[in-house]
Amino acid sequence: MEADLNMHRAFGIAVLAAMFLTPAVGAEAPAQTMSVSLAREVASKTVALVESRGLYPRQQAEYDRARMALLAMFDGQPLEIDRTGLYTRITGLLATLDTNGHSFLIPASHDLTTRSTQSTSNDLPPATFQVLQTSKGKVLRWTPPPVVNSTTMALGPYLTRFHDEAGTTPDIADACALVVDLSEQTGGNAWPPLVAMYPLFSDANNAMWVDRDGKRTTLMNRAGLEDMRQRAGEGRANPLNRFDKGPLAVVTDKRTSSAGEMLLIALLGEARVQTFGSTSSGMTTANATYPLPDGSTLVLTQSRYALGKGPVIHGGIAPMHPINPGESLVDRVASAAEWVAENSASCRATGRK
């Protein structure tokens, strides 16, 4: 089933961009050089992946020059290749792609998975819940924290903290509307928070992946998210179930980036959503990760996003309700909470003050 395939391939998507992850504890630094045969394998696999799956270059001639520079390292039949030089030329190749700088190489001395396989619920920041009082009633604010781990191991601990904190938040049952605050979503793995918020998505969600040839694939599927939740072993009732209908407010920030923008686009796929805050950072592309023969990892941008049949999204996403000069995060959250309470039938029905 296509939707199910999307859900399972997507744990490699939206990996933390524009920074190298912390080296694995105890990992040895790789040698400064590598054999020419290994270096050739790294270069060849990179080129093959870029040309078969990556977004197209901004200018083909620019890409061709970078490709020639990479392959020129093997001229003259050297016995060894400088690792830093190889990585620099691969980075130059990736820089020619139309990806907003979102494709990059993680060196062999940095590890995507070692820490995640040791993850426990205590390794993750808590999913922040707060009940806000508005003029029309109480509103729940949820600020999903970012997740650096890119593997499925991150999901179970994330959901545990999500449910544990919801269960200890005073007055959460009194909230008549919801604000999702993406101001802390600075990048990483989008799927744990997406699974946590699965009740907010409907079958009519129109968020799309768009590949390099323009083919559009549905991004969200509530049944698929529910299946992922069950496989993670979390059986408690989701505290967001009550907000599956009615208006939904979303707060954005200029730091909302990469995985955070994937969450934003998924939420914008619901017609009931209104956004408040600042334009997001502009890392609005989706990545997949590929191990390379020397232990390094290629993070390759393979698609962009769109809403329905609308234009493909490039760059930052502007809010529907921009902040005014001098407004703080507290101000924009308060504005979002007032709007969602004012427009919520649940708030009007309860008449809470």
Judged against a pLDDT cut of 60, whether residue 65 lies above it is answered with yes
State whether 272 and 179 are in the same domain: yes
Domain assignment present for 321: yes
Same-domain check for residues 132 and 100: no
> Are residues 189 and 71 part of one domain?
no
Q: Does 93 share its domain with 135?
A: no
Query: What does the angle CA 161 – CA 166 – CA 168 come to, to the nearest 5 degrees?
Result: 100
Name the average pLDDT for the chain. 86
The pLDDT > 90 percentage for the chain reads: 71
For residues 185 and 165, what is the distance between their CA atoms, to the nearest angstrom? 18
Span 2-14, pLDDT tens digits: 334 344 344 334 3
- Provide the CATH number for the domain around residue 312: 3.90.226.10
Place of tokens 């604010």: 141
Assess whether pLDDT exceeds 80 at residue 121. no
The answer to whether position 71 is within a domain reads yes
Note whether 292 and 42 are within 8 A (CB). Answer: yes
pTM score, whole prediction: 0.84
65 alpha-carbon distance from chain centroid: 31
CA distance 91 to 318: 30
Most confident option among 94-98, 283-287, 323-327:
94-98
DSSP-H helix ranges across the chain: 2-9, 36-53, 60-71, 83-94, 114-117, 155-167, 191-196, 222-231, 259-268, 329-342, 345-350
110 confidence band (pLDDT: 50, 70, 90)? low
- The DSSP annotation for 162-193 comes to HHHHHHTSTTGGG--EEEEE-TT--SS--HHH
- Do the domain assignments include residue 112? no
- Tell me which residue range forms the domain holding 49: 2-106
**What confidence tens digit (pLDDT) does each residue in 174-212 have?**
999 999 999 999 988 899 999 999 999 999 999 999 999
Q: How many residues does the chain have?
A: 353
Q: So what's the pLDDT on residue 236?
A: 92
Compute the average pLDDT of residues 123-148. 85
What single letter denotes the amino acid at residue 172? I
What is the domain count for the chain? 2
pLDDT level of residue 28 (50, 70, 90 thresholds): low
Q: Is residue 111 part of a domain?
A: no
